[in-house]
Amino acid sequence: MVIEKEKVEEKTTRLRRELQDLRAGFAAKKEDLEANYQKQVDDMFFYCYRCCIKKHDIANNTLNFLSDDEDDEFLGGPVQGDGVCARRQICSRRLSFH
């Protein structure tokens, strides 16, 4: 009876250790996938941004403003028109798969 109890405890300990290792591996894999996903989202955002800039020919029509205030809302807003790219709908559809 004592031998069986020791075997069960040993098996339980081994299974707990295995479960802990699997959870740690899963957490690491999840973190890598989240980082990769965020990189893809950022790449797609910048792709759409470049398309919008090119489509509206914004790069050639903007003035360079010098400002001491980095929090100036004017510099962070849309430069021309409403600032919405026609491809944004396509890009947002591509990025909305969770």
**Digit-coded pLDDT (tens) for 12-44:** 999 999 999 999 999 999 999 999 999 999 988
- Measured at the CA of 70, the angle between CA 77 and CA 38, to 5 degrees, comes to 65
Give this prediction's pTM. Answer: 0.45
What are the helix (H) ranges across the chain? 2-55, 58-61, 73-76, 88-95
pLDDT mean across residues, the chain = 75
Of residues 93 and 2, the one with the higher pLDDT is: 2
Using CA atoms, how far apart are residues 70 and 6, in angstroms rounded to an integer? 67
Predicted local distance difference test score (pLDDT) of residue 83: 46
Instruction: Choose the most confident range, by mean pLDDT, from 7-21, 45-59, 67-81.
Output: 7-21
**Could you tell me the maximum CA-CA distance found in the chain, to the nearest angstrom?**
86
Using CA atoms, how far apart are residues 78 and 73, in angstroms rounded to an integer? 10
Sequence ranges of the domains in the chain: 2-62+72-95
